Amino acid sequence: MIGNCVYADVTFLVNLVMDFVILWATAKLAGFRIVYRRIAVASLLGAVYAVGYLFPQLANWYALPIKVIFSCILVIFAFWPAGWDDFKKLFMYFYGVSFVVAGAVMSSAYLFKPGTIFRFSYAWLLGGIFCAFCLGKWGERILAEKLVPGMMGFPVRVVFDGVSCEGEGFVDTGNTLQDPLTRRPVVVAEYSLIRDCLPEDVREVLDAAGEDGDCIQAMTTTSWAHRLRVIPFTSIGRPHGLMLGLRCDEVVIDTGYESVNRKNIVIGVYQERLSPEGKFQMLLPAEILLKG
């Protein structure tokens, strides 16, 4: 929030506008439904809080911990997150957008009036609004298509009985599947990726399978019955689904600066494509990248 304007009315108006566009961009980037009434109320609170900075007797209310707490209140008022995970996501986006917009404001100020003391100007106000608008309008697409795949996608090699198959893995923080026996995280892979690593009798069963659970009984008679796992999962339309899993010998993830090796990880077999565009063939739980 911006609170260095000389007059209370200007401070109020500037912060009202900037908080509104920052919260709007936050909702767009985080993929949350925009409720303009809530955003307006939160922006109003932010503007009132900013005006208080002009009064020295209220200085204690502008210490860093209080500012962070007030930011939390703004996020809650603007979006009413359903749980802790939603709140964390929104809070991180809120501060990320705020820092980017603040940088745009500073740049606009010195671009149009280089070497001058930083004072209110419609030029930097418009610069901040334009930056927030661009983030909200195109930021989600850039994140989804450029930044996120680059930061969360890694080459992965899966080894079964000395035979390797390689593909692209994507870190899915929502993947909380676990091996019921060992409680270790499960990697979900497209069947088409690992098919050539499997023995013939296993391929025959999986080739004939229509649904993930249809082939579990038949798999118990194959040469890899000892590798078989049945993984419970929940998804839209299937509150009590079962996924067939196969224990591999090793999963090797190339993070770009080191290789993460995990032994005896269960691979959940997914018959369809995980990415419509074919950008990745495996979903990696975040836990699998942790050391230890």
Domain co-membership, 15 together with 131: yes
**How far apart are alpha carbons 201 and 87 in whole angstroms?**
48
Place of tokens 């932010």: 46
Domain co-membership, 167 together with 141: no
Instruction: Show which of 89, 118, 151 is a domain's final residue.
Output: 151
Confidence of residue 140 (pLDDT cuts 50, 70, 90): low
Q: Please indicate, yes or no, if residue 1 is contained in any of the structural domains.
A: no
Domain co-membership, 139 together with 271: no
Domain co-membership, 96 together with 215: no
Instruction: Show which of 127, 151, 175 is a domain's final residue.
Output: 151
The answer to whether 152 and 170 are in contact (CB under 8 A) is yes
Q: Please indicate, yes or no, if residue 172 is contained in any of the structural domains.
A: yes
Domain co-membership, 137 together with 107: yes
Of 16-20, 183-187, 286-290, the range with the lowest mean pLDDT is 286-290
Taking the CA atoms of residue 180, residue 182, residue 183 and residue 189 in that order, the dihedral angle to the nearest 10 degrees is -70
The answer to whether 231 and 242 are in contact (CB under 8 A) is yes
Domain co-membership, 137 together with 241: no
Domain co-membership, 141 together with 40: yes
> Residue 147: is its pLDDT beyond 50?
no
Place of tokens 């900075």: 53
Q: What is the pLDDT of residues 231-268, one digit of tens each?
A: 888 765 566 678 899 999 999 988 777 788 999 999 99
Please compute the mean of the pLDDT values over residues 225-230 and round it to a whole number.
92
Domain co-membership, 144 together with 171: no
At 1 the pLDDT is 43
At 180 the pLDDT is 83
Q: Mean of the per-residue pLDDT values for the chain? A: 79
Question: 55 or 167, which is more confident?
Answer: 167
Q: Please indicate, yes or no, if residue 143 is contained in any of the structural domains.
A: yes
Of 9-23, 30-44, 84-98, 123-137, the range with the lowest mean pLDDT is 123-137
Q: Please indicate, yes or no, if residue 140 is contained in any of the structural domains.
A: yes
Instruction: Show which of 133, 151, 169 is a domain's final residue.
Output: 151
At 189 the pLDDT is 94
> Residue 118: is its pLDDT beyond 60?
no
Domain co-membership, 91 together with 186: no
Please compute the mean of the pLDDT values over residues 127-139 and round it to a whole number.
62
Look at residue 214 and give its three-state secondary structure: coil
Look at residue 198 and give its three-state secondary structure: coil
Q: Please indicate, yes or no, if residue 2 is contained in any of the structural domains.
A: no
At 113 the pLDDT is 54
At 250 the pLDDT is 94
Confidence of residue 3 (pLDDT cuts 50, 70, 90): very low
Confidence (pTM) = 0.52
> Residue 122: is its pLDDT beyond 60?
no
Question: What percentage of the chain carries pLDDT values higher than 70?
Answer: 74
Q: How crowded is residue 212: how many other Cβ atoms within 10 Å of its Cβ? A: 23
Q: Please indicate, yes or no, if residue 73 is contained in any of the structural domains.
A: yes
> Residue 145: is its pLDDT beyond 50?
no
Q: Please indicate, yes or no, if residue 156 is contained in any of the structural domains.
A: no
Please compute the mean of the pLDDT values over residues 38-63 and round it to a whole number.
85
Domain co-membership, 132 together with 24: yes
Can you give the residue range of the structural domain that contains 283? 161-289
At 242 the pLDDT is 84
Confidence of residue 117 (pLDDT cuts 50, 70, 90): very low
Domain co-membership, 97 together with 222: no
Report the domain count for the chain.
2
Domain co-membership, 127 together with 169: no
Q: Is the dihedral of CA 204, 210, 212, 214 positive or negative?
A: negative
